Amino acid sequence: MIITDLHLHTAHSGDCDEPMEAVAESAIERGLKEICFTEHYDPDFPPEEEYDFTLDADAYLTHFKICAERFEGRIKLLFGVELGLQPHLTEILREYAAAYPFDFIIGSSHLANGKDPYLPSYFEGRSEREAYLEYFESTLKCVECFDDFDVYGHLDYVVRYGPNKDKYFSYGAYSDILDEILKRLIEKGKGIEVNSGGLAHGLDHPNPRLEILKRYRELGGEILTTGSDAHKAERVGYRFDDLNELIKSAGFEYITVFEKRRPRFISLD
Ligand SMILES: [Zn+2]
Ligand SMILES: [Zn+2]
């Protein structure tokens, strides 16, 4: 049984209204033992989009401390962030990561060259393959130029929003670029996460899909965290029973939790 959800949003994220307390209560109901809030910090997000991803980390930290105390003995709460990576933001993000006592940092690509795959316009006027490749190439750039994260978030996130979603998507069809990303992450000692949000977005797989998890393991990758990416309390730990089986079938015996940016390994059985 998986007892940690290390990818959760609350009302401190610009696209979420759920109180931190409700997320923690839901995690307790689901039998989770430790969870990490990973609020969005996405500077320089396209201004035409309605969301404000400029996280007020001081307010977030103050609220977190109150909650951590309130829930002590019932569940362990961890203080994290999901950084929206873009190559030109390296310096800003490095300073931000160092300015707060984060337990855990997810580095994620939510944009590729400033464009948002969440919007249909990202896919217009080109093939799905070109659009997916641009996303993965921009992920590789971020992996190359940035170090201040612990795991890379939802590696094949772009597939959630493609016109055909994962119908024509496989590791094999994109193995060159995916291998480069995975190898660089492993060389840098970075992990990946398995994010059940993919299953909530109409895919048959989490992000990334099983083949990519297997490949990461095969190349020597050992650091894997589990996250639901819940933006609603009822989505906490979403389909973690399925994730448990999937992770084992990918060749992992352990999952990882980060505290004070240090990994700790938990046996899956
Ligand atoms: Zn994300
Ligand atoms: Zn997220």
Structure tokens at 31: 């039998």
Per-residue pLDDT for 45 more than 80? yes
pLDDT band at 75 (very low <50, low <70, confident <90, very high): very high
Look at the chain and count its residues.
269
Residues of the chain with pLDDT > 70, as a percent, come to: 100
H/E run at residue 205: none
pLDDT of residue 202: 87
Smallest-distance ligand from the CA of 9: 2
Per-residue pLDDT for 269 more than 90? no
Burial of 11 (0-12, 13-18, 19+ CB in 10 A): middle
H/E run at residue 262: strand 262-267
Quickly tell me which residue has 């307390």 as its tokens.
21
Quickly tell me which residue has 């940092």 as its tokens.
105
- Contact (CB, 8 A) for 36 and 258: yes
Mean pLDDT across 123-136: 98
Distance from residue 208's CA to the centre of ligand 2 (Å): 14
pLDDT of residue 65: 98
- DSSP strands (E only) in 9-109: 34-41, 76-84, 104-108
Distance from residue 105's CA to the centre of ligand 2 (Å): 11
Distance from residue 132's CA to the centre of ligand 1 (Å): 16
Smallest-distance ligand from the CA of 109: 1
β-partners of residue 78 are 36
Across the chain, mean pLDDT equals: 97
Distance from residue 31's CA to the centre of ligand 1 (Å): 24
Distance from residue 1's CA to the centre of ligand 1 (Å): 24
CA distances from 77 to 58, 132, 178 (A): 17, 35, 33
- Contact (CB, 8 A) for 194 and 246: yes
Burial of 43 (0-12, 13-18, 19+ CB in 10 A): middle
Distance between CA atoms of residues 185 and 174, nearest Å: 17
Distance from residue 110's CA to the centre of ligand 1 (Å): 6
Distance from residue 188's CA to the centre of ligand 2 (Å): 22
Per-residue pLDDT for 248 more than 90? yes
Distance from residue 218's CA to the centre of ligand 2 (Å): 26
Distance from residue 108's CA to the centre of ligand 1 (Å): 6
Distance from residue 228's CA to the centre of ligand 2 (Å): 8
pLDDT of residue 166: 92
Q: Looking at 48-52, 163-167, 253-257, which range is the least confident one?
A: 48-52
Per-residue pLDDT for 258 more than 90? yes
pLDDT of residue 51: 87
What is the Cα 149 distance to its own chain's centre?
Answer: 11
Report DSSP state, residue 252: -
pLDDT band at 50 (very low <50, low <70, confident <90, very high): confident
Mean pLDDT across 193-197: 97
Phi first, then psi: what are they for 255, rounded to 5°?
A: -115, 170
Residue type at 174 in one-letter notation: Y
Distance from residue 107's CA to the centre of ligand 1 (Å): 8
Residues of the chain with pLDDT > 90, as a percent, come to: 96
Q: What is the dihedral of CA 60, 66, 71, 77, to 10 degrees?
A: 30
- The structure's pTM equals 0.98
